[in-house]
C-alpha cells in the first residue's frame, strides 16, 4: 500500500501544500529530517511544492487566520484542500500533515482525511517556514516580511478590538485597586490615630470610623483652637450633635500633650492625603457599580457588584467564568484549602469567594453547604447570560436572587419555592418585552434626530439663498 503525505502550511500570503517524498523512509529517520531542515539542497529532496492559493485581499487573509486560530476550517481552505489534495482511493492512503491539532480535527470532520500533527511533520513544517522564499519561485523575501507584518498587525487589532461597553478588564483592575486601597487606608488611618493621639487621645473613642476620624482631625487641627464657633461645622461633618458636644468637652479637658506648629502641619498634610484617598475610593466603588451594571448586570443583581467583580477577577475574565461549571464557581478563591484538604484527605471547602454573599451568611449552619451549591449554580447561569447575551439586562439576575431568597425560606420553614422552569419562563418574557421597548425607544430617537438634521439642512439652504 502506497503511503502519501501532504503537508499544509499556512503563510501570510496564502495556503500552500507540499508533497513529502519517501514518506515511510522519512518517518523512520526523524534525526535525518532534523539535520536536513537547515540545508536547502537536502531539504528540497524531501519535499515538493504541490499547490499554492494566495489570499485575494487582506480581509480574506484576516478572516482565514482568525478561523484557523480558533480551530475552525475556513471555507477558502476547504475548497483549496478539496481541489488539490489527492483523493483517497481503495489502494492508497493519504495523510495530511498540519501544525495545529484543533484545525486537523476540523479538517478530519469535514473532509475525512487522515491527519498527523506530531513528530517529523513539525520538523518538516519548520523547514518549510525557514526556506519558504526559496521554495516558491519568483517570491521575494521582502514581500514575505511585508505580508507577515501587515497580517500580524491586522490580527492583533482584531483581537484587541472590543465593545467598550462590555470590558471586563476594567472591572478586574478596579476591584484589585479597591482591595489595595482598603488595605492602605486601614494602615494610614491607624498611623493618623497613633500620631494625633499624642495630642488628642480622647478623640479615638468618640469617633471610631476611619474616614470620619480623618475629616475631624483635618477640621480641628489644634484642639486648643476648638471653640463653640466651630461646633456648627463639626456637626456637619459628624452628623451627630451629641458627639460634637462630647468632642468639645473632651478637647477642653484632654490629657494629651501640646503639639508644635511644624508637627501639626505634617499631621494635617498626611490627613489630607488620607481624606482624598477615601473620597477616591468612594468614587471608584461607584464606578465599579456602574461598570458591573453594564458588563455583568445579572451577576451584580444576584450577588452584588464587589463579590461579582472579585469572581470575574479570580477567573481572569467574564468569558472564563462563564466556562466554569457551578462546582468550580462554588470554591473559586479557596484553592489552597481545597488542595490542602485533598492532600490531608479531610473534608473539602464548601465555598470560596461566594462566602461574602449575604445568602451564605444568613443560611443556617447545617444549610450553608446546600445554600452555596444553589447559589453557585445560579451564578454560573447568570455569568453565561451576561457573557453571551447580545442585549443583557438584570431581569434574570433579579429572578434568580428571588429564587435564592425562596430557597432560604424553604430551608427554614419547608415552604416549597416556585419551579425553576416557570421562573425562567417569566424572566424570558419580561426580557423580550423590555428589549422591544428599548428598540422602539431607539427608533423614535433616531427619527427625531433625522428630523432635526433635515430641518437644519433646510435652514442652511434657505440662509444661503437669502444671502445670494
Mean pLDDT of 312-333: 91
The contacts of residue 57 (CB under 8 Å, 6+ apart) are none
Mean pLDDT of 345-355: 89
Nearest to 302 by CA among 223, 403, 391, 195: 403
Q: How far is CA 401 from the centre of its chain?
A: 23
**pLDDT band at 24; cut points 50, 70, 90:** very low
Predicted pLDDT at 282: 93
CATH topology of domain 5-160: Nucleotidyltransferase; domain 5 (3.30.420)
- Map out the domains of the chain as residue ranges: 5-160, 169-287, 320-447
Nearest to 95 by CA among 206, 212, 7: 7
322-326, 351-355, 360-364, 440-444 — which is least confidently predicted? 440-444
Predicted pLDDT at 389: 84
Rounded Cα distance, 221 and 199, in Å: 10
Query: Following DSSP, what letter does each residue of 238-258 receive, concatenated?
Result: HS-HHHHHHHHHHHHT--PPP
Mean pLDDT of 259-288: 93
Which strands, in side-by-side order, build the sheet including 92-97?
47-54, 14-20, 2-10, 92-97, 114-116
Question: Which whole-number Å values give the CA distances from 84 to 77, 202, 234, in the listed order?
Answer: 10, 88, 85
Query: Beta-carbon neighbour count of residue 188 at 10 Å?
Result: 18
Nearest to 185 by CA among 151, 212, 221: 212
- Whose cell is 514581500? That residue is 143
Nearest to 427 by CA among 382, 387, 397: 397
CATH topology of domain 320-447: Serum Albumin; Chain A, Domain 1 (1.10.246)
Looking at the chain, the whole-number percentage of residues with pLDDT higher than 70 is: 88
When comparing pLDDT for 161 and 264, which is higher?
264
The contacts of residue 62 (CB under 8 Å, 6+ apart) are 151, 154, 155, 158
- Whose cell is 439642512? That residue is 457
Q: Is 320-447 in the same CATH topology as 169-287?
A: no
pLDDT at 344 over 70: yes
Nearest to 355 by CA among 337, 375, 339, 336: 375
pLDDT at 26 over 60: no
Mean pLDDT of 381-391: 88
**pLDDT band at 312; cut points 50, 70, 90:** very high
CA dihedral 325→330→334→335, nearest 10 degrees, is -20
334-348, 358-372, 419-433, 443-457 — which is least confidently predicted? 443-457
Rounded Cα distance, 333 and 328, in Å: 10
- Whose cell is 457573557? That residue is 387
Contact 199, 236 (CB under 8 A): no
What are the tens digits of pLDDT across the range 29-69? 556 666 677 777 888 888 888 888 888 888 888 888 888 88
60-69, 129-138, 315-324 — which is least confidently predicted? 129-138
Q: CATH number of the domain at 169-287, please?
A: 1.10.287.4070
Mean pLDDT of 308-331: 91
49-53, 164-168, 437-441 — which is least confidently predicted? 164-168
pLDDT at 91 over 50: no
What are the tens digits of pLDDT across the range 240-249? 888 889 998 9
Looking at the chain, the whole-number percentage of residues with pLDDT higher than 90 is: 30
Contact 226, 212 (CB under 8 A): no
pLDDT at 90 over 50: no
Predicted pLDDT at 162: 53
**pLDDT band at 400; cut points 50, 70, 90:** very high
pLDDT at 1 over 50: no
Contact 192, 217 (CB under 8 A): yes
Mean pLDDT of the residues in the chain: 85
Does this model's pTM top 0.85? My answer is no
Amino acid at each position: 500500500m502506497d503511503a502519501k503525505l501532504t503537508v499544509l502550511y499556512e503563510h501570510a500570503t496564502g495556503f500552500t501544500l507540499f508533497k513529502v517524498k519517501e514518506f515511510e523512509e522519512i518517518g523512520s529517520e526523524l534525526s535525518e529530517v532534523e539535520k536536513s531542515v537547515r540545508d536547502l539542497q537536502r531539504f528540497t529532496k524531501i519535499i515538493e511544492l504541490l499547490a499554492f492559493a494566495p489570499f485575494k485581499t487582506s480581509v480574506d487573509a484576516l478572516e482565514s487566520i482568525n478561523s484557523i486560530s480558533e480551530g475552525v476550517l475556513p471555507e477558502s481552505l476547504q475548497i483549496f484542500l478539496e481541489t488539490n489534495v489527492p483523493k483517497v482511493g481503495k489502494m492508497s492512503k493519504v495523510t495530511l500533515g498540519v501544525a495545529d491539532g484543533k484545525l486537523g480535527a476540523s479538517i478530519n470532520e469535514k473532509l475525512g482525511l487522515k491527519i498527523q500533527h506530531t513528530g517529523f511533520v513539525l520538523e518538516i513544517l519548520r523547514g518549510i517556514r525557514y526556506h519558504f522564499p526559496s521554495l516558491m519561485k519568483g517570491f521575494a523575501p521582502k514581500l514575505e516580511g511585508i505580508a507577515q507584518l501587515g497580517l500580524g498587525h491586522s490580527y492583533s487589532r482584531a483581537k484587541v478590538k472590543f465593545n467598550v461597553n462590555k470590558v471586563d478588564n476594567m472591572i478586574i483592575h478596579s476591584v484589585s485597586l479597591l482591595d489595595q486601597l482598603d488595605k492602605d487606608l486601614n494602615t494610614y488611618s491607624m498611623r493618623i490615630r497613633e500620631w494625633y493621639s499624642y495630642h488628642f487621645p480622647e478623640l479615638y473613642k468618640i469617633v471610631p470610623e476611619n474616614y470620619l476620624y480623618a475629616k475631624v482631625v483635618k477640621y480641628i487641627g489644634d484642639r486648643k483652637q476648638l471653640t463653640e464657633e466651630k461646633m456648627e461645622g463639626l456637626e456637619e461633618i459628624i452628623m451627630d450633635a451629641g458627639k460634637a458636644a462630647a468632642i468639645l468637652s473632651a478637647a477642653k479637658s484632654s490629657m494629651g500633650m501640646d503639639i508644635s506648629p511644624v508637627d501639626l502641619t505634617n499631621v494635617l498634610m498626611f490627613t489630607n492625603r488620607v481624606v482624598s484617598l477615601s473620597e477616591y475610593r468612594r468614587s471608584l466603588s461607584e464606578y465599579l457599580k456602574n461598570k458591573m451594571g453594564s458588563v455583568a448586570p445579572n451577576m451584580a443583581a444576584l450577588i452584588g457588584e464587589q463579590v461579582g467583580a472579585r469572581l470575574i477577577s479570580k477567573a481572569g475574565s467574564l468569558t472564563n467564568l462563564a466556562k466554569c461549571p457551578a462546582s468550580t464557581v462554588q470554591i473559586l478563591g479557596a484553592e489552597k484549602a481545597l488542595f490542602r484538604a485533598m492532600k490531608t484527605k479531610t473534608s473539602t471547602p464548601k465555598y470560596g469567594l461566594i462566602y461574602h454573599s449575604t445568602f451564605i451568611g444568613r443560611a443556617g449552619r447545617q444549610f450553608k453547604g446546600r445554600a452555596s451549591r444553589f447559589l453557585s449554580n445560579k451564578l454560573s447561569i447568570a455569568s453565561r447570560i451576561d457573557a453571551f447575551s447580545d442585549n443583557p439586562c438584570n431581569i434574570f439576575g433579579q429572578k434568580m436572587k428571588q429564587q435564592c431568597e425562596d430557597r432560604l425560606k424553604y430551608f427554614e420553614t419547608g415552604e416549597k419555592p416556585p419551579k425553576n422552569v416557570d421562573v425562567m419562563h417569566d424572566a424570558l418574557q419580561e426580557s423580550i418585552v423590555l428589549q422591544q421597548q428599548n428598540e422602539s425607544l431607539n427608533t423614535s430617537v433616531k427619527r427625531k434626530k433625522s428630523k432635526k438634521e433635515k430641518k437644519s439642512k433646510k435652514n442652511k439652504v434657505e440662509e444661503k439663498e437669502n444671502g445670494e
